[in-house]
A and B are shown apart, each in its own frame.
Chain A
Amino acid sequence: MNGWTWTATIALGVGVGAAVWGVVTGPLRRRVVAQNLSSALAAPGLLLLAQGYGRPAYVDLALLLALLGPVGTLVFARLLADDLAGDPPRAWAVTLAVAGYGAVVVLVLCAVTGPGRAMVKLLVVGALLIGGNLVASRALSGGFPGSRRG
């Protein structure tokens, strides 16, 4: 194991562990936030692993998670809009902290890889991850107002 995989071990253990805990307990508003953050916490871990294993091909996993994780959250935001309307999630502090964590990981990896195609891919993953995460949080807290079957 090297420094990257050790960092990934700790980050995944703490981050995704917290997400699992959050999605299992508490009111619905906390569970949806935990589900949203699980993808935002796992994707930087995948990037760290790709670097640690020395396999740029593994970045595809993080790309797909950054794309589809927020889509999954939109599913819940849309179909649970009625249940969440009375008790919308308010977790902007945590969301922003997780977004910051993603940004730090992406920037560090960019600095290590140096300019080139790999760096562009990393930046795309980072942008999709942070943008998707923030939009999904927005969708959870009242992104679908006045929802009736549709």
Chain B
Amino acid sequence: MTRRLRMIVLALGGAGLAALFVAACFGMPGFGGDRHPYGDRAVHASLARRTANTISSVNFDQRAFDTLGEMSILFTSVLGTVVLLRQTRDEKRGRPQPQEVALPVRRYALVVLPVALVSGLYVIAHGQLSPGGGFQGGVVAATALHLLYLGADYRALERIRPIGVFEVGDALSASAYLVTGLAGVLAGTAFLANTLLPYGTFNTLSSGGTVPLLNAAIGMEVACAIVILLARFLDQAVEIEEDNGKR
């Protein structure tokens, strides 16, 4: 297919799709409407189980099985990346030269690293109360570690980031999610049913039954996943080079 023909097909398809979409837009309930039956029921169920953050309740209680699916997508894509970006036989590992970093930048990185790490943990820990949760906090905590690469050099990051530990952590937290779900089955109810633990007092850290546990498992899973992903990318971009035979 030539480029010209491809553009014509694209234009036709795009125009058709656009027409259908716009027609659909005008058939939808108006933006800002007052009818949200599912939302109202979800809020009601969440308050009955004393989870202050309704969104966390939907994620880790009412639709916990769906989150298990999301987590397995996450896990699989990390696995895929690790397999795709492994070091092949014709590649060798070069030692990257340390990077000079201006003093204020280095200091900033070293000061903000613990602050960002603590904020990440804060976001995970308060997931069932205030906005936040395992997904967001995990990413923040993982990003915080990489300030060492940005503010110092790659070898400093490698020293504090034993990649094997994070790989084990990834697997452990994924199975922790499953085990928490299975505990429900053993207790005589359903998989991932939130009936195991007392619901606690509304708006405290231990409220919401199994929501904080699943939230923490997801937080650890996401943090480990992002660290592993970025480690593979950094290895490829910084360390691994093709063996040209002459160098």
Q: A interface vs B, CB < 8 Å? A: 57-58, 60-61, 63-64, 67-68, 70-71, 74-75, 77-78, 128, 131-132, 135, 138-139, 142-150
The minimal Cβ–Cβ distance linking B124 to chain A, given in whole angstroms, is 12
Q: Are A150 and B97 in contact (CB under 8 A)?
A: yes
Point out the residues of chain B lying under 8 angstroms from A138, CB to CB: 102, 104-105
Point out the residues of chain A lying under 8 angstroms from B147, CB to CB: 71, 74
Question: Could you say which of A63, A71, A128, A149 has the most chain B C-beta atoms within 10 Å of its C-beta?
Answer: A71
Chain B, interface size category, equals 20 to 34
Q: Are A74 and B109 in contact (CB under 8 A)?
A: yes
Contact for B143 among A68, A128, A149, CB less than 8 A: A68
Q: Are B131 and A58 in contact (CB under 8 A)?
A: yes
Point out the residues of chain B lying under 8 angstroms from A131, CB to CB: 108
Q: Are A71 and B119 in contact (CB under 8 A)?
A: no
The minimal Cβ–Cβ distance linking A78 to chain B, given in whole angstroms, is 5
The minimal Cβ–Cβ distance linking A58 to chain B, given in whole angstroms, is 7
Given A57-B130, A150-B97, verify A67-B140 contact (CB < 8 Å): yes
Point out the residues of chain A lying under 8 angstroms from B153, CB to CB: 150
Point out the residues of chain B lying under 8 angstroms from A78, CB to CB: 99, 149-150
Question: Could you say which of A58, A63, A139 has the most chain B C-beta atoms within 10 Å of its C-beta?
Answer: A139
Let me know if B34 is at the binding interface, CB within 8 A: no
Q: How far is the CA of A78 from the CA of B112 in the complex (A)?
A: 17
Point out the residues of chain B lying under 8 angstroms from A149, CB to CB: 96-97, 238
Point out the residues of chain A lying under 8 angstroms from B238, CB to CB: 149-150
Q: How far is the CA of A149 from the CA of B99 in the complex (A)?
A: 8
